[in-house]
Structures are given as structure tokens and as C-alpha cells.
Amino acid sequence: MPVSRTPHLEPRTREVIVYLKMSDNNTPTERQLHFILATLLTFCAFFLLFVLRYADDNRLTSWQWAFAHVNPAGFIPLMLAGIFIVYALLRFPFAGRNPALFLFIFSFAASSVFWRSPETIVDVSRYFTQAKHLELYGVRYFLSEWGRTINAWTDLPLVPFLYGMIFRVFGETRLYIQVFTGLLFAGTTVLTYLTGRRLWDEPTGFFAGLMLTGIPYIFSQTPLMLVDVPTMFFLSLSVYAFIRALDTGGGWVPVSSAAAACAVFSKYSAWLMLSVLAVVFLVCPGRRTGEAARDCIVRAVIAALLALLLAGIPALLKFDVIRGQISFLREYQMPGLKRWGESFASTFLYQVHPFITVAALYSAYAAVKKRDPRFLIAGWLVFLVVLFQIRRSRYVLVVFPMLTLMASFGLQAVRDMELRKYIVSCIVASSLVTAIFAYLPLLREMAPVNLKNAGRFLNSTDAEKAVVFTIPSGDTVINQAVSVPVLDLFTDKEVYYDYESAAVSPPPEKTEKSPLRFTWEYRNPLYYSAGNDSSGKNAAIAVISNGLPASMPASIERRIKGYRKAAVFSVSTGLFSYRPAVTIYLPGD
């Protein structure tokens, strides 16, 4: 188990001293009772949430959906086994001697389990098409055309740029993106650990990093080609690097500035969250006097100016695009959040393990009692979430590292280190079991899996290319054209699609306030159609529809004449109006 650093002592001696200081004087029987109580509370919390699962209004992994056809009794042995395994890993010497490496390996391995899930959120079509522009046309084209011929909607360019570079260097394969986001998530757990160690002590930081894997919702996002996990990483890096810059200066000053600039260009919501750096500035110099305090202030000013320079120059070059995006966010996105939101109970009791939330709430009391201003750094972002009523798990995700820091600070009240370790094991194990055996099956049954399976089927055929047609549907507010890039992500074949021939204008009242409005204002790039010959004998035809159509339009009937129906993919949970089904035709014998 990682321990606080005590100078002038051998590592084993330091470990013994810290353990004695942080453990209480419980008798063996009392300790056993505490362990049993922690176990019982873990199961009570799980079964209480299961019974009240209809209170979970999450839009993706609601417990009322995830546990609709699940026998909760089957989770008892799974959770017991999980607790035993996690606790055994934490007692293994490797975890104590290499806490950062242990966190990195453990969290990356946990996230890799979810690589089997499909791209469940349609926003991926935007990030994929932006990244593919860089892959095909290069960095210069991407930088000059972002926001112009590259439709940027309300997206910032950094994360699509990174995805595009991965495609350009390694190839257009989803696995590389998943490895990348998995590495960023693993890096976030390490940064959380390092931040907690810097603010308080090593156990507090270690448990905070580990408890990030105790948030089951986070694993529904780590495999997706979105911007939320990268934003969480850059925001966490900004906080840790700025603390180090104030404390030690040197190379951490430009690193801090670069990290803040990366967060700025990852997601607009990160702009508000970067206010935590002002809290860091107010707290850290306050711990010093005289020349040391002046050094902190000078370093902060230099870091801030450099960050403004790094973020300001690109912002000025794209000023018109960014100004338009901000205006649109203010007029459309901010009012929309009230209609598209989820309850705090859903986010902080179901999608986050309730022990984390309880410990975080207690930590506020503990911080006041201890008069510890460093707690403001961890608590600030969660305070903003409550203040601005940010009621959607996806948008709250970026503050989860600070939430676990709060929770770990609150768990300092458990002075028995072994008991604290066991409580964290219960949190992590029960959350991973929930995510793997309830969330993952739900995600794999959602209709977007049809695009994944269709892409893999196309890869198994001899077709050189895939010609895609979409059938408009009156019972959905999503334009099926956004399914084309997702299918493209899963297939190695060249994809051709004539957007204009399939475009249909829906009634404005159906899309004006819809969270999926972008699907109608978005246009598939020219690389799907311009100058491409979509005919030929060695072309597969894929028809994407919202559910299986009763009949094919005459235009598609003419096109598939002489083709045979080779495969149909139409899995659906029936929970969402967006139900992409794919029918694939191959040339007849």
C-alpha cells in the first residue's frame, strides 16, 4: 500500500510508522466486525439501488434498463469475488512499491474490457469526419479548413486533430482510438493520484485515483470516439501541472500552460472548469510566506501569460468560427441542457458509486473542521456542477477526478488503513461488476451495434467498396446520414454515399430544440461522393434504415436489381427512437 513520505527513514520503516499512525487501536474482533459491516453496506447499497432503479433517469445506462432482465442474486458471488481480487491486488507488494504504475495498468485493463461496445452516441460521426479530413488531406488542410469546409458544429479542434493524427500515422482503425482514450483514462487516474499526494498524502492520492474505476458510468465512455475522456485528462493535467509549477517552477511552468491550452481547445465546458486554476493560485501561495510566496505568484503570472499566448493565437485565427459557436451555444445548448438533463440522484448515486458520493459529502464537513484550504481545489469543480445545475453525466464526467479526491479526503476519517483499503476495494469491485455484467450487455444490444456488425461483415466480403443508401423515416428526429461515418469507422472498404439524393427536410418544430439537431445541419464530406464512381460489379450495397423497412424505395429497388440479400443487422433494445438497421446486398452469382 502506498504511504506518505517521511524523510530520513528507510522505506520499510516509513511504511510501519505511517501504518501505526493512521490505524486505530481496534481489537482483532472489532476490526473483523468493521470489515463485515463494510461488506454488508456494500450489498445493501447495491440492492437498495436495484429496488429503486426506476429513479435512475440516465439517458444511456439507466439502471432501469441495465437491470431490466438481470437477476440481482447472481451479482452476489460476482461482487464477493471482485472484492477479494481487488483487495488482494492492493495487498500485493507491487501496488505499494509502484502505485502510479499499478493504477495505470489496472485502469487501462479495466477500460479495455469495454472495447467490445459499439459507438452508442451519434456525436461520434462529427469527430470521425473531422479526423478523416486530416487523415486524407493532411494537417495544413485541417487547420485551414476547420470551421469552413470541415463542419465544426460546436466542437473544438484539438481532439479531432489528435484522432486524425492517429488515423494518419497508424491507419483508420477504431482500436487505435480506443487504445488512445484508454491511455488517457489511465493517465487521468495517475494524475489524480499525483494531485492527491501533492495536496495531502500518498494514500489519499492513491485511493482517489483508484476510485475513478469505481464510477461505472465512466466505462460507457472510455471506448467511444468522443471528446469527454480526453477533456477529463487535459483538465486533470492542467490542475496537477499548475500545482507543480507553483511549487517548483522550472519546466512545469510551460507544461502547465500547454495543458491549459489543450483543455481550452478540447471542449467549451472546460473553459468554466479551468477556473479551478484560480483556486489553486489563491490556495498554494497562501501556504508560504515572504520570498516563497512571491516566487509562486511570479510563476503563476508567467504560466497564465504563456497559456493565454498558446490559446489566444489560434483563437484569434479562428475568431469568427469560435464567436459563432459560442453564440450558438448560448442560444441553443444552454437552454437545451434544462430539457435534456438527468437528475443529480441518477449521476451521483447510480452512475457514481454511492459510497464515493457519501464520502465526498462528508469531506466538506471534515475540511471545515480541519480548516484545510487545499480542499477548495478538489471541491471547486463539484461546487460549479451544483451551482450551474449541470445535470448530465456526460458533462459532469470531467469533474469525476476531483470528486474522487473529495471522497478520498473524506475517507481519511477511517484511520485503519486496512479497513480503508477494503472499503475502496468494495467500491471498485461492485462498480466494475455493475459495469461489466449490467452496462456492457445493455450497450452491446443497442441498435448502433448493427453498424459495427455490418462493417465487420463487409470486411469479410470480396467487395472492393460499399455503396450506402439511407431510407428517411418519419418516426425519428435523427437524420440517418450520420450513420454513414459510423459504418465507415467499422469497415476497411471504401464507402460512397450521395448525401443530396437522400436528404429530407424535417419539420422545423421537430428539430429546432432537439439535442440531435446537428444531424440535420451536418453534411457528409465530399470524400464520400465527389469524383467517385459508385457503380461496378465488385461493389456491396448497404441500406441503412430506422428499423427494418416494410419495403424499399423504387430508386433503391432499381439499384439492387441483380443483387442478393447477404445479411441483415437489426438488433434493437427498443428504448430509443434511433434504431439504425443495416441490410447488405452483394452481387448475385
Q: Mapped to the 3 state alphabet, what secondary structure does 158-191 carry?
A: HHHHHHHHHHHHHCCCHHHHHHHHHHHHHHHHHH
Predicted confidence band of residue 555 (pLDDT cuts 50, 70, 90): confident
C-alpha–C-alpha distance, residues 531 and 495, integer Å: 13
- The arrangement of strands across the sheet holding 494-497 comes to 494-497, 465-470, 539-546, 580-587, 563-569
Is the pLDDT confidence value at 506 over 80? no
pLDDT score of 262 more than 80:
yes
**Helix pair angle (400-410, 202-211), 10° resolution:** 130
**pLDDT tier at 538, thresholds 50, 70, 90:** confident
Give the angle 275-165-116 at the CA atoms, nearest 5°: 85
CB 278 within 8 A of CB 316: no
Neighbours of 530 (CB within 10 A): 8
Domain ranges of the chain: 22-121+173-444, 449-587
Query: pLDDT of 162-180, one tens digit each?
Result: 999 999 999 999 999 999 9
Secondary structure in 3-state letters for 377-414: HHHHHHHHHHHCCCCCHHHHHHHHHHHHHHHHHHHHHC
Is the pLDDT assigned to residue 354 strictly greater than 50?
yes
- In terms of Cβ atoms closer than 10 Å to its own Cβ (0-12, 13-18, 19+), residue 179 is middle
Q: List Cβ neighbours of 439 (8 Å cut-off, separation of 6 or more).
A: 61, 66, 216, 217, 219, 220
Q: What is the 3-state secondary structure (H, E, C) of 506-530?
A: CCHHHHCCCCCCHHHHCCCCHHHCC
* pLDDT at 541 > cutoff 60: yes
What are the backbone angles phi and psi of residue 322, rounded to the nearest 5°?
A: -65, -40
C-alpha grid cell for residue 388? 450551474
Any idea what DSSP says for residue 505?
A: P
pLDDT digits (tens, 9 = 90+) for 148-165: 999 898 999 999 999 999
Q: With 0-12 CB in 10 A as exposed, 13-18 as middle and 19+ as buried, what is 266?
A: buried
Q: Which range, of 18-27, 292-301, 562-571, averages the lowest pLDDT?
A: 18-27
Pick the closest to residue 2 from 119, 93, 116, 69 (CA basis): 93
The three cell numbers locating residue 343: 437528475
Given a cut of 50, whether residue 18 has pLDDT beyond it is no
Least confidently predicted of 188-197, 333-342, 546-555: 333-342
In this prediction, residue 17 carries a pLDDT of 41
Residue 10 has pLDDT above 50, yes or no: no
Element (H, E) at 14: helix 11-22
Q: Which residue has the higher pLDDT, 180 or 284?
A: 180
CA distance 355 to 502: 50
Quick one: which H or E segment has residue 543?
strand 539-546
Alpha-carbon distances, residue 283 vs 204, 243, 300 (angstroms): 19, 10, 12
Containing 236, the helix (H) or strand (E) segment is helix 228-248
Cα–Cα distances (Å) from 438 to 41, 42, 65, in that order, read 20, 17, 9
| DSSP count for the chain of H helices, then E strands | 31, 5
pLDDT 10s digits, 97-123: 999 999 999 999 999 999 999 999 999
Whether residue 127 contacts residue 227, with contact meaning beta carbons closer than 8 Å, is answered with yes
DSSP secondary structure of 293-334: HHHHHHHHHHHHHHHHHHHHHHHHHTHHHHHHHHHHIIIIIH
Q: Is the dihedral of CA 407, 408, 411, 412 positive or negative?
A: negative
Compute the mean pLDDT over every residue in the chain, rounded to the nearest whole number: 90
Dihedral of the CA atoms 444, 447, 451, 454 (nearest 10)? 80
CA distance 42 to 406: 20
Taking the CB of residue 144, how many other CB atoms lie within 10 A of it?
13
* 3-class state of residue 466 by DSSP: strand
Q: What is the pLDDT of residues 35-52, one digit of tens each?
A: 999 999 999 999 999 999
Question: If 0-12 CB within 10 Å is exposed, 13-18 middle and 19+ buried, where does residue 512 land?
Answer: exposed
How much is the pLDDT for 204? 97
Q: What pLDDT does 12 receive? A: 40
CB-based burial label for 569 (10 Å; 0-12, 13-18, 19+): buried
pLDDT of residue 500: 56
7 burial (CB, 10 Å; 0-12 / 13-18 / 19+) is: exposed
429 or 534: whose pLDDT is higher? 429
